[in-house]
């Protein structure tokens, strides 16, 4: 299998976004039989096993010298994951995906705040614009509306996006100090097992059917593979470039909706998809043209996570 290090970060994000979109479909289907804690638990068990095997195959070690950083990254990541699964189970898939993908906008705001706090003289506004343009495309495609009785579920989905933004920045910090992606994903999976088991103690445990077990397995394999790719990309690429390309996950989800759930294709939706792709391509172009690494910008957050 091709080493992840040989694949450019933008391509890793594109592939991971497709896998995450596919996972979202499986989570939505599995939510009919399992609660969010159960799905997170089984997804994490699969992830831990796969990452353990991956580390052994690479002759790597799971021992780390920065357990505290892994703890905070795992805490934020697992919290965002469980909240997102809850939102997917209680909202239309398109709406839940939109709210979670707000993480890119929150990330831009966090990085902007950090740049201002540090007195950074240069902020690459063009890169921020690509992120905001990408979200405008998301809004055109999905145009999410949350009914009054779904307000609580919508708030949960929105919070998942905020917390996910902090998790992505923590992944970038771990990557900059040399932590391999399989180790980051392994500890994230271990934390998911603990958190999922805790939720199951209160929310209950359901029995398995063949359909349910296969969906849980699919969620675990798809999510772990995508997480490994996403972690590698955030460890080596620029956070806001990655954020822009992640919007392709919404386009993939939209395509799944058309094929699997008979969603209607509208001119606004097509315009939104084109805007998302344009934002991703623009972000990649800006990254390739970046030639001042010494200048702190929104694409290079300070290593304070």
Where do the structural domains in the chain lie, given as residue ranges? 4-289
Binning pLDDT at 50, 70 and 90, where does residue 286 land? low
Q: What pLDDT score was predicted for residue 259?
A: 85
Residues 6+ apart with CB under 8 A from 148: none
* Highest mean pLDDT (candidates 34-38, 86-90, 181-185): 34-38
Q: Mean pLDDT in the chain?
A: 80
- Quick one: which of 96, 111, 223, 114 has its CA closest to 161? 96
Q: How far is CA 236 from the centre of its chain?
A: 16
Q: What's the CA angle centered on 9, arms 5 and 10, to 5 degrees?
A: 145
- Quick one: which of 113, 85, 106 has its CA closest to 223? 85
Rounded average pLDDT over 189-214: 92
9 C-beta neighbours (distance < 10 Å), count = 22
Q: What percent of the chain has pLDDT over 90?
A: 32
Instruction: Between 273 and 23, name the one with better pLDDT.
Output: 23
Q: Answer whether 43's CB lies under 8 Å from 279's CB.
A: no
Residue 53, both tokens: 């095997």
The per-residue DSSP string of 81-109 comes to HHHHHHHHHHS-HHHHHHHHTTHHHHHHH
Q: List pLDDT tens digits, range 91-149.
A: 777 778 877 877 767 766 676 566 666 665 566 677 678 778 877 877 777 666 666 66
| Range in 81-95, 133-147, 171-185, 269-283 the model is least confident about | 133-147
Q: How far is CA 208 from the centre of its chain?
A: 27
What backbone torsions phi and psi does residue 285 show, to the nearest 5 degrees?
Answer: -65, -45
């Amino acid at each position: 299998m091709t080493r992840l290090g040989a694949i450019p970060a933008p391509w890793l994000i594109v592939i991971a976004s497709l896998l995450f979109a596919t996972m979202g479909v499986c989570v939505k289907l599995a939510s009919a039989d399992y609660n969010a804690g159960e799905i997170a638990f089984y997804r994490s068990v699969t992830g831990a096993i796969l990452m353990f095997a991956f580390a052994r195959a690479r002759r790597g070690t799971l021992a780390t010298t920065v357990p505290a950083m892994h703890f905070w990254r795992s805490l934020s990541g697992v919290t965002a994951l469980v909240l997102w699964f809850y939102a997917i189970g209680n909202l239309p898939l398109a709406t839940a995906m939109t709210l979670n993908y707000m993480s890119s906008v929150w990330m831009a705001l966090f990085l902007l705040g950090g740049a201002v706090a540090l007195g950074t003289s240069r902020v690459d506004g063009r890169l921020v614009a690509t992120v905001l343009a990408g979200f405008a495309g998301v809004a055109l495609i999905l145009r999410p509306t949350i009914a009054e009785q779904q307000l609580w579920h919508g708030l949960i989905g929105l919070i998942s996006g905020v917390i996910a933004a902090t998790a992505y920045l923590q992944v970038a910090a771990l990557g900059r100090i040399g932590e391999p992606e399989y180790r980051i994903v392994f500890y994230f999976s271990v934390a998911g097992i603990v958190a999922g088991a805790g939720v199951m103690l209160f929310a209950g445990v359901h029995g398995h059917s063949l359909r349910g077990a296969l969906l849980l397995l699919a969620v675990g394999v798809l999510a772990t593979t995508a997480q490994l790719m996403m972690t590698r990309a955030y460890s080596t690429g620029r956070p806001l470039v990655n954020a822009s390309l992640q919007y392709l996950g919404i386009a993939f989800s939209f395509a799944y909706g058309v094929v699997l759930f008979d969603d209607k294709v509208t001119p606004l939706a097509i315009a939104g998809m084109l805007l998302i792709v344009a934002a991703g391509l623009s972000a990649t172009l800006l990254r390739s043209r970046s030639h001042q690494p010494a200048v702190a910008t929104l694409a290079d957050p300070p290593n304070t996570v």
